[in-house]
Amino acid sequence: MRTALARAAAAGMLTATAFFGAPIASADTALIVPGTAPSPYGPLRSTYHFKPEMQPLIDANYYSPDAVRRIVPYPGSFWPVTGWDSPTVNSSVNTGAGNLDSEIRSTDGPITAAGLSQGTLALDREQARLAHDPTAPAADRLTFIKAGDPNNLLEKMFGPGAHVPIIDYTVPPPLESQYRTINIVGQYDPFSDPPNHPGNLLADVNAVVAGGYYGHSATAFSDPAKVAPWDIKRSTNGMGGTTTTYFIRNRELPLARALVDIVGMPAEKVPQMDATLRPLIDRAYDPGPAHDPVKFVNGVSHLPTAYTAVRLPIRAATLTAGAVAAANTASNVLPKVLPVVALFLLTGK
């Protein structure tokens, strides 16, 4: 399930309701570091729905619309997902941070550094470097905006300072910076809002779906003006930098929506499915210390009620064997999600 969480990617649909006023970053130049590049392998590439022409719009609702936008080039690679000869995440992030640093130092006036997914790792690294650089730009010249930061997942799974060999990446310590920071977190996004108790397998499946279709990348296109005040948190660190976190809620549970779009469940069953599953899934986000990797089985006690919760709505939806077969056929799109969903369907009939 950890692998599934680590590989979930691409665009989704986040929604919010009601209008609430919220400030945005004012900047003359926006330096944009996009997320991971598409995989060259067919089944993995099919999960990638982010269009390159959307890159200039990353985090655009969080800074001045008058800013001149420039894309910061870097590999955006995730070995071996992006190819056996592609750089590791660490190497890619190093290149991204270095290129971002060069762009910052060659740009006059106010600057916003905007990142999505892997791009935020480059922002994190550059921001940490500038915190101890006497030649760094003045604190009021630079703002960092991060959507879907995977360091949230890595810190929870492994802890600061841990080295993750497969991506050759060391989890950084909590960041203190002199600069203003905006974090954009999507509800259920496995990267920026991972389950606190990942032994709840139903929550894991929902998180993978959120990362694959219904969350993650979409956080970069959310609107801060539509975020309720109680979903906006502000803090100030020891270096005087302020951090504002916007929590972007999903109107519909990603797993319930996926059962309609991919498996074929009648759309009118979504409210019933959502009302039944959401409380069980939300248990995985209960406060308390996150489990370390050797205790990932904690939370399995949720499964008996999860089984019942899934079994009853699926029966009510009267899904046919053809819908189950469709889920198995579509498993090449979300290889980690749909086999689990299909198993729920089969055991519930």
pLDDT tens digits, one per residue of 164-220? 998 999 999 999 999 999 999 999 999 999 998 888 888 888 998 888 667 788 899
The yes-or-no verdict on residue 101 having pLDDT over 90 is yes
Q: How confident is the model at residue 298 (pLDDT cuts 50, 70, 90)?
A: very low
Q: How far apart are CA 103 and CA 99, in angstroms?
A: 6
Q: Where is the domain boundary, 231, 248, 265?
A: 248
Same-domain pairing of 180 and 322: no
Number of domains in the chain: 2
According to the model, what pLDDT value does residue 82 have? 86
The yes-or-no verdict on residue 111 having pLDDT over 90 is yes
- What is the average per-residue pLDDT within 232-260? 92
- Listed range (4-18, 122-136, 158-172, 208-222) with the worst mean pLDDT: 4-18
Same-domain pairing of 64 and 122: yes
* Ordered DSSP codes for 153-193: HHHHHH-TT-EEGGGTEEPPPPP--SSEEEEEEETT-TTTS
The yes-or-no verdict on residue 155 having pLDDT over 80 is yes
According to the model, what pLDDT value does residue 25 have? 63
Same-domain pairing of 206 and 318: no
First to last CA, the chain: 25
- Listed range (88-92, 141-145, 323-327) with the worst mean pLDDT: 323-327
Residue type, 210: A
Q: Where is the domain boundary, 198, 221, 248?
A: 248
The answer to whether 62 touches 219, Cβ cutoff 8 Å, is no
Same-domain pairing of 60 and 133: yes
Same-domain pairing of 269 and 312: yes
Same-domain pairing of 94 and 191: yes
Rg (C-alpha) for the chain, rounded Å, is 20
299-308: long-range contacts at Cβ-Cβ below 8 A with a sequence spacing of 24 or more? 299/197, 299/198, 299/199, 299/200, 300/199, 300/200, 300/201, 302/199, 302/200, 302/201, 302/202, 303/200, 303/201, 303/202, 305/280, 306/200, 306/201, 306/202, 306/277, 306/280, 307/344, 307/347
Same-domain pairing of 233 and 285: no
CATH number where 13 lies = 3.40.50
- Listed range (12-21, 219-228, 234-243) with the worst mean pLDDT: 12-21
| Portion of the chain with pLDDT greater than 70, in percent | 72
Same-domain pairing of 73 and 97: yes
Q: How confident is the model at residue 300 (pLDDT cuts 50, 70, 90)?
A: very low
Residue 286's domain comprises 254-348
Give the helix/strand (H/E) hosting 31: strand 29-33
The yes-or-no verdict on residue 156 having pLDDT over 80 is yes
According to the model, what pLDDT value does residue 161 have? 95
Give the helix/strand (H/E) hosting 275: helix 270-282
Same-domain pairing of 69 and 25: yes
The yes-or-no verdict on residue 47 having pLDDT over 80 is no
According to the model, what pLDDT value does residue 6 have? 39
The yes-or-no verdict on residue 337 having pLDDT over 60 is no
Q: How confident is the model at residue 276 (pLDDT cuts 50, 70, 90)?
A: confident
Same-domain pairing of 136 and 186: yes
According to the model, what pLDDT value does residue 125 have? 97
Same-domain pairing of 326 and 238: no
The yes-or-no verdict on residue 132 having pLDDT over 80 is yes
| pTM beyond 0.75 | yes
| Portion of the chain with pLDDT greater than 90, in percent | 51
Same-domain pairing of 264 and 225: no
